[in-house]
Chains A and B, each alone.
Chain A
């Protein structure tokens, strides 16, 4: 068992707008931010929807859209945790990212396809590591810096890596999370794979037809629980354990039995020293593809048994925010513990009989739970489970 790691700061930019409050208000109300996409061309694609972040995040337009999201969410988290300049110089930074500044790079490449066009300065921010470079420089973070790319589980993987750094005493505190802006490549690719629903996604519904793409950022401040207490910080929750596994099965398809997924859940519970029966809620990966939801439900059942556990998918409201998803959903999980309210799965009208759980359809539920997990899976057979404990 690793030393307890406390969550002392939260910051969010979501399709509900900037800030943790807008995010939680949206989740608690069961609102849906999935609408016709406006940022990119969608002509000729089966699905033309996305959950875009509304205007109002701010930041210099010379930065990539994703960097602006990351900075806003990271600043909110550091302020929330009351982390000062001096402490930041020692702080670790772990960013989960996939798209980087690809939205802007695509704009250049599309133009270059029509006529010779010189590379603009924003192209320097194309790769995923750009977010960490920008955050580290602007916020003065001098501890270990990492950018991890784990497809749709990137944000959760970043939190797991940061928790290791804190638990091992490598850094006194860490800022960690995930960020992604919508990109043409992501939108086109999932369309090509026929994994997008033409209507807003319906996780765990019998008639689900695929996911909806979203965008956003979330960052959390993690520190040793004893340190947080000593400095009188408010502790939102504890990140009690994490499990990371690989299917080593197929580049896109999950293992049909969800073997890697259940191994991640068991590993996280073991690391936390928590028995399955002590967990009351699972914020599912819940993408709403026919395959994911069926296999994830099977994997959850293998670990927790049938029935008792409440399971919901935030993606029904904010879409699949890619590299941000694991971090945004970690925030949802933490707030579910704190507010004693389980966010719902919206658009869930006819539950899939293969999903042997109460998936909290349409309306949030008032339930106090001691432990909750957040699942995040990604292409490449990447599985991450985080276990949170009520403070």
Chain B
């Protein structure tokens, strides 16, 4: 089993764009900005500054978010792209804007209004595909879809692939964008109340010995990762007395006692019932120990790119305190992810 180093982070959101330094800056400002409304749409000017004409023409906005964040992460990690780089992208909604534009072409003009260029974007793996092309990642390419926790799930899956020796280096994180039709439908269906936002974020994970050998800056280490399904109906929250088996498994893998946990980043973002469920699960797993709880939602809202920031924040917490930090995320329907992050 290999040890899993976090060697870079790249994030592209309305609130912050950049690598580890940008994340550090965001967290330092955090206290001052907490309570402010989560940032919504990313301004077009942020993206036009990042892409040349050819990229801007070929890449949908969702793909631009993913590619932009991936390039920032690869740069932050000082990684030389190679055949063994993998990409694991979590997304909740995929490129829904392109999907709707594709369908509108048909509804407005019939078969002649269909766009061959838009069609690939109707499949959720296009962000991973364009990212793989942009950073020349020819190894594993995965797109994981899940409600609200897709980014954390992607990082957990990627960490397990590195740990088992299946990939040499992997970009892991997520991307989501807002869409007016989606927001309208979510409102009509009664979406739990999360502060939805948009953006992309990736961390770079690689085997610790390889990272050390190439002299990489090491932000932290993922010492445990697990994901499980809690009993819940689709779109519902489950029993609060449930055992948080993902946290137990991640701590077990990390050989970290609950009482040794220094801080917890939770996924809570305003969905009251789900957030309360998450808090109960964390408390149950940690027993009487009550570490400091961090929440990125007030700064970033909830989207699949936030996971990368949470991992970087946990690594920075763990580095500062010397105690491992948890990244926890629970979705309606029961998907539960937990990462244990230690300092370098």
Contacts and interface: CB of A to CB of B under 8 A. Distances in A.
A134 B234 contact: yes
Contacts of A121: 189
A147 B92 CA distance: 11
A378 B125 contact: yes
Contact of B143 (A118, A144, A149): A149
Interface residues of B, number: 64
B137 A113 contact: no
Interface string A68-97: 000000000000000000000000010001
Nearest to A140: B231
B132 interface: yes
A185 B122 contact: yes
Chain A interface residue bracket vs B: 35 or more
Contacts of B129: 246, 251, 379-382
Nearest to B231: A142
A124 B235 contact: yes
Contact of B116 (A106, A127, A133, A192): A192
A146 B153 contact: yes
Given A123-B185, A246-B137, A249-B133, A133 B111 contact: no
B120 A188 contact: no
B166 interface: yes
B114 A136 contact: no
Given A130-B234, A188-B111, A147 B119 contact: no
Contact of A251 (B87, B99, B130, B184): B130
A110 B107 contact: yes
Interface in B90-136: 92-94, 99-100, 102-103, 106-107, 110-111, 114-116, 119-120, 122-126, 128-130, 132-133, 136
Contacts of B133: 248-251, 381
B144 interface: yes
Contacts of B54: none
B150 to A, nearest CB: 8
B165 to A, nearest CB: 10
Nearest to A249: B133
A44 B132 contact: no
A380 B229 contact: no
A244 B94 CA distance: 22
A352 interface: no
Contacts of A145: 227-229, 334-335
Contacts, number: 184
A304 interface: no
B145 A97 contact: yes
A142 B333 CA distance: 11
B136 A137 contact: no
Interface in B211-232: 226-232
B295 to A, nearest CB: 24
A150 B160 contact: no
Contact of B119 (A119, A142, A193): A193
A157 interface: yes
Contacts of B185: 119, 123
B234 A137 contact: yes
A185 B122 CA distance: 8
A113 B107 contact: yes
Given A124-B235, A192-B116, A380 B126 contact: yes
A156 interface: no
B140 interface: yes
A149 B335 contact: no
A137 B232 contact: yes
A189 B121 CA distance: 10
A378 B128 CA distance: 12
A133 B125 contact: no
Nearest to A110: B107
A141 interface: yes
Contact of B145 (A127, A249, A263, A382): A127
B141 interface: yes
A245 B119 contact: no
A232 to B, nearest CB: 27
8 contacts: A136-B333, A142-B230, A149-B145, A164-B161, A192-B115, A192-B116, A246-B138, A380-B132
The 4 residue pairs across chains A and B that have the minimum distance between CB atoms: A380-B129, A189-B119, A246-B141, A133-B234
Interface of B: 86-87, 92-94, 99-100, 102-103, 106-107, 110-111, 114-116, 119-120, 122-126, 128-130, 132-133, 136-147, 153, 157, 160-161, 164, 166, 184-185, 188-189, 226-235, 245, 333-335
